[in-house]
């Protein structure tokens, strides 16, 4: 496992963004773990988060893109933090864009987007916190493709829960097959479990509950 992945797992736990316990997900599933990117609230946390996203994007998709698109609302600070990280780490100027939940009908920036205006030929990386059902992509991919003749190069999330989406595949896999672009995560939940086990930081009861959860909800690919 790459060093930045191990550091990112420690960072999620340190920031209390990845938690273990008993949680009810939006899907109704009862999960022994939960990840909430809204827990990154300080300048240092957002700086580091952007750097982890930038490293993962370069590792998976390279540097040949122009725009980072973060769906409202949580994707907005993710996109902003990551474009700053690209400038600091790689000296690469990347534009950010996000959608608005409601159209703005006044001022100089009317319309349905924040940040840069999407242009024909733009190469876009989508960025969000976690994809459990793929619903946010159902809403935003048509918006992005409808705004200009762009190429979506991929989607990067922070954590792949590696559980079933609408079928037996992960939501990330379903998004990739539905929209025709690659998807990736900074880390997957199996990598988190593997890393914590290697540090003897996962007690037997929690490991048993995680295993039971995946026996019921784990994806086949």
Catalytic machinery residues: 104, 106
- State how far the Cα of 201 lies from the Cα of 83, in Å rounded to an integer: 33
Contact 157, 131 (CB under 8 A): yes
- State how far the Cα of 219 lies from the Cα of 221, in Å rounded to an integer: 5
Q: What are the beta bridge partners of residue 185?
A: 157
- State how far the Cα of 202 lies from the Cα of 55, in Å rounded to an integer: 27
Beta strands in the chain (DSSP E): 18-24, 30-35, 67-69, 95-104, 111-115, 123-130, 151-160, 183-188
Angle separating helix axes 43-61 and 3-14, nearest 10 degrees: 150
Contacts of 147 (CB under 8 A, 6+ apart): 112, 113, 118
- State how far the Cα of 214 lies from the Cα of 156, in Å rounded to an integer: 22
């Amino acid at each position: 496992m790459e060093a930045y992945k191990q550091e990112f797992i420690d960072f999620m736990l340190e920031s209390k963004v990845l938690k273990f316990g008993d949680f009810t997900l939006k899907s109704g599933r009862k999960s022994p773990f939960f990840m909430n990117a809204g827990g990154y609230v300080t300048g240092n946390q957002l700086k580091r988060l952007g750097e982890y996203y930038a490293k993962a994007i370069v590792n998976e998709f390279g540097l040949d893109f122009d725009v980072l698109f973060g769906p409202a609302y949580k994707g907005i600070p993710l996109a902003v933090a990551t474009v700053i990280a690209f400038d600091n780490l790689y000296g690469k100027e990347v534009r950010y864009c996000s959608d608005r939940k409601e159209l703005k009908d006044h001022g100089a920036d009317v319309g349905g987007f924040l940040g840069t205006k999407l242009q024909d030929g733009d190469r876009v990386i989508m960025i969000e916190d976690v994809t459990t059902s793929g619903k946010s992509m159902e809403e935003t991919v048509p918006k992005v493709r409808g705004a200009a003749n762009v190429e979506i190069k991929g989607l990067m999330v922070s954590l792949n829960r590696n559980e079933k989406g609408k079928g037996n595949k992960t939501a990330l896999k379903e998004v990739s097959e539905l929209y025709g672009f690659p998807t990736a995560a900074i880390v997957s939940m199996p990598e988190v479990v593997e890393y914590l086990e290697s540090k003897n930081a996962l007690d037997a009861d929690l490991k048993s509950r995680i295993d039971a959860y995946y026996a019921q909800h784990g994806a086949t690919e």
